[in-house]
Structure 1
Amino acid sequence: MSGRAVFMLVFLPFALGHYLSSLIRTVNATLAPQLMAALALTSGQLGLLTSAFFLAFALAQLPVGMALDRWGPARVQPPMLLLAALGALAFSGGRDFAELLVARALIGLGLGGCFMSAVKAVSTWIAPARLPSVQGYLIAAGGLGAASATLPVRLALHYTDWRGLFVGLAAAAACLALLIWLVAPSTPPASSSSSTARPASLAVLREVFRHPAFREVAQLVMVPHMVFFGIQGLWISRWLSDVAGFSEAAVTYLLYLGMAAVIFGAIAVGMITEWAGRRGVAPISVAAAGVALFIAVQLGFVLNWAPSFQLLSVVFTLVGTVTGIEYAIVAQSLPPSLTGRGATCLNLLIFLGAFAMQAGFGLVLGCWRPDALQHYPAQAYQVAFGVLVLLQLRGLFLFARRRWGAAPQSGRIDYPSGNPATSPPITR
Structure 2
Amino acid sequence: MGADQQGTRLSGIAVFFYVFLPFALGHYLSALLRTVNAVLAPDLVASLALNPAQLGLLTSAFFVSFALVQLPVGIALDRYGPRKVQLVLLMVAATGILLFACGRSFAELVAARAIIGFGLGGCFMSAVKAISTWITPTRLPSVQGYLIAVGGLGAASATTPVRMALQYTDWRGLFILLAACVACTAGLIWALSPRTVQPGKARAPTVQSILDVYRDPAFRKTISLILAPHAVFFGIQGLWIGRWLSDVARFPDAAVAYLLYLSMAAVIFGAIAVGMVTEWAGKRGIKPLDVAGVGIALFVVVQVAIVCNWKPSFQLLSVLFTLIGTITGIEYAIVAQSMPPTLTGRAATCLNLLIFVGAFLVQAGFGLLVGMWAPDAAGRYPALAYQVAFGALVAVQLPGLFRFFMARRPAASGAVTMDLGASEA
Instruction: Give your verdict on TM over 0.5.
Output: yes
- Hey, what does 1:68 align to over in structure 2? 77
Work out the number of aligned pairs and report it: 406
2:78 and 2:202 in contact (8 A); partners too: no
Change in Cα spacing, 1:251 to 1:45, as seen in structure 2 (3 Å) is: same
User: What aligned pairs does 1:196-215 form with structure 2 within 5 A after superposition?
Assistant: 196=201, 198-215=203-220
1:214 positional shift: 2.1
- Hey, what does 1:146 align to over in structure 2? 155
1:206 positional shift: 2.3
1:95 positional shift: 0.8
Range with bigger deviation, 394-403 or 47-56: 394-403
Amino acid in structure 2 at the alignment position of 1:176 = T
- Hey, what does 1:290 align to over in structure 2? 295
2:70 and 2:122 in contact (8 A); partners too: yes
- Hey, what does 2:229 align to over in structure 1? 224
With normalisation by structure 1, the TM-score equals 0.89
Structure 2, gaps ≥5 residues long: 3-10, 415-425
- Hey, what does 2:68 align to over in structure 1? 59
User: What aligned pairs does 1:261-300 form with structure 2 within 5 A after superposition?
Assistant: 261-300=266-305
- Hey, what does 2:5 align to over in structure 1? none
Range with bigger deviation, 115-124 or 298-307: 115-124
Structure 1, gaps ≥5 residues long: 410-428
1:200 positional shift: 3.5
**Partner Cα distance (2:265, 2:228) in 1:** 23
Amino acid in structure 1 at the alignment position of 2:60 = S
Amino acid in structure 1 at the alignment position of 2:44 = L
Change in Cα spacing, 1:165 to 1:280, as seen in structure 2 (3 Å) is: same
2:127 is the alignment partner of 1:118: yes
Which residue, 379, 388, 392 being the options, matches 1:383?
388
Change in Cα spacing, 1:402 to 1:132, as seen in structure 2 (3 Å) is: farther
Q: Provide, for residues 310-334 of structure 1, a one-character-per-residue CA deviation record: whole Å limited to 9, x for no partner.
A: 0000110111111111112223345
**Identity across aligned pairs (percent)?**
69
Aligned Cα root-mean-square deviation (Å): 2.1
2:245 and 2:256 in contact (8 A); partners too: yes
**Partner Cα distance (2:339, 2:136) in 1:** 14
2:23 and 2:126 in contact (8 A); partners too: yes
2:52 is the alignment partner of 1:43: yes
- Hey, what does 1:346 align to over in structure 2? 351
2:260 is the alignment partner of 1:255: yes
Range with bigger deviation, 299-308 or 249-258: 299-308
Q: Provide, for residues 123-145 of structure 1, a one-character-per-residue CA deviation record: whole Å limited to 9, x for no partner.
A: 44445554443322221111111
Amino acid in structure 1 at the alignment position of 2:172 = R
Change in Cα spacing, 1:122 to 1:278, as seen in structure 2 (3 Å) is: farther
Change in Cα spacing, 1:342 to 1:179, as seen in structure 2 (3 Å) is: farther
Q: Provide, for residues 72-109 of structure 1, a one-character-per-residue CA deviation record: whole Å limited to 9, x for no partner.
A: 32221211011000000101111111111111110011
Which residue, 20, 23, 26 being the options, matches 1:11?
20
Amino acid in structure 1 at the alignment position of 2:277 = I
Which residue, 243, 246, 249 being the options, matches 1:241?
246
Amino acid in structure 2 at the alignment position of 1:203 = Q
Amino acid in structure 2 at the alignment position of 1:314 = V
Range with bigger deviation, 336-345 or 370-379: 336-345
With normalisation by structure 2, the TM-score equals 0.90
1:180 positional shift: 1.4
